[in-house]
Amino acid sequence: MTDSAFYAIAAAIAIAFSTFFPALGQGKAAKAALESIARQPEAAKEIRSTLLLSLALMEALTIYGLLIAFMLVGKIK
């Protein structure tokens, strides 16, 4: 295999892992937040703001993976 093929495979793996695992985490966080809101509706505002902050941090992992994939694709000649 050529170097270009290795870079392309590495970029695909970076995108796959950086989207799959944060998506699982976001699903679990949203599920827990909705269950908490269902149990304690008066705390919905605090739970929602904490959920949005945690979702933004998880989404940052996906953006980092995308950045790494772009950097790897840039090395393909």
Cβ–Cβ < 8 Å for 59, 22: yes
- For the full predicted model, state whether its pTM sits above 0.75: yes
What's the CATH code of the domain at 19?
1.20.20.10
How do residues 65-76 score in pLDDT, each as one tens digit? 999 999 999 888
pLDDT-based confidence at 3, cuts 50/70/90?
confident
How do residues 20-48 score in pLDDT, each as one tens digit? 999 999 999 999 999 999 999 999 999 99
Domain total in the chain: 1
Its domain, for residue 47, covers 3-74
CA–CA dist 30, 47 (Å, integer): 10
